[in-house]
Amino acid sequence: SQQGEEDPQALSIQEGENATMNCSYKTSINNLQWYRQNSGRGLVHLILIRSNEREKHSGRLRVTLDTSKKSSSLLITASRAADTASYFCATDAGAQKLVFGQGTRLTINP
Amino acid sequence: DAGVIQSPRHEVTEMGQEVTLRCKPISGHNSLFWYRQTMMRGLELLIYFNNNVPIDDSGMPEDRFSAKMPNASFSTLKIQPSEPRDSAVYFCASSFRTGGIEQYFGPGTRLTVT
């Protein structure tokens, strides 16, 4: 069964707007990662946030983690057409493997 | 670095045939993961290896599936016999070690079983 659940399942916004995706999980984690998947491609790692961190930035990406609510959010600022992709959260619960959510399909309209 | 290499990229086969998917991890990585992605079930971990040793194969759907890693630079996932419900995209990923760090994914093999 999936550990992470992304919300929304699909998101469509205009270029230049910000996009926010959320991830909820069920068990305690060591860290949480976000990945991007372009159509027909493999997943690409975006950012990792550890359980003792609350916020992390990488370029136009901002990730937050609330371990009390077992949730994380990914914010993409000033979106571009090239950001169109599916975004997955993945949790590391200490079992030496990642468990991926179902993903959010993001569409950036020009 | 060439990244994770998978072959073939596309495979179309008839039900009952044997299918072998291949993966070459990134040089120096000692953990390798096989995933299956479908619309219905999302991305599922099938099996992973650490230092060429299978660690957890609990995700392998049934005995028709088997995976090997004879050396640090090569792994196979075999389905025998294949069934239409095996149709999916199969990804191989590698990392420096298991757990806690990023995984590098290959481009995937799209398998269609008719």
Residues in CB range of B39: below 8 A, 6 or more apart? none
SS3 call for B1: coil
| Tokens representing residue A15 in the block | 């270029």
pLDDT tens per residue, range B48-102: 999 999 999 999 988 999 999 999 999 999 999 999 999 999 999 999 866 668 8
Interchain contact A96–B (C-beta under 8 A): yes
Residues in chain A with CB shorter than 8 Å from the CB of B38 are none
Contact B114, B99 (CB under 8 A): no
Question: Do the chains contact at A94 and B99, CB–CB below 8 Å?
Answer: yes
Would you give per-residue pLDDT tens digits along chain A (110 residues)?
446 788 899 999 999 999 999 999 998 888 999 999 999 999 999 999 999 999 999 999 999 999 999 999 999 999 999 999 999 999 987 666 888 999 999 999 99
CA closest to A91 among chain B residues: B100
Residues in CB range of B40: below 8 A, 6 or more apart? none
The pLDDT value recorded for residue B46 is: 96
Residues in CB range of B2: below 8 A, 6 or more apart? B26
Question: Do the chains contact at A41 and B107, CB–CB below 8 Å?
Answer: yes
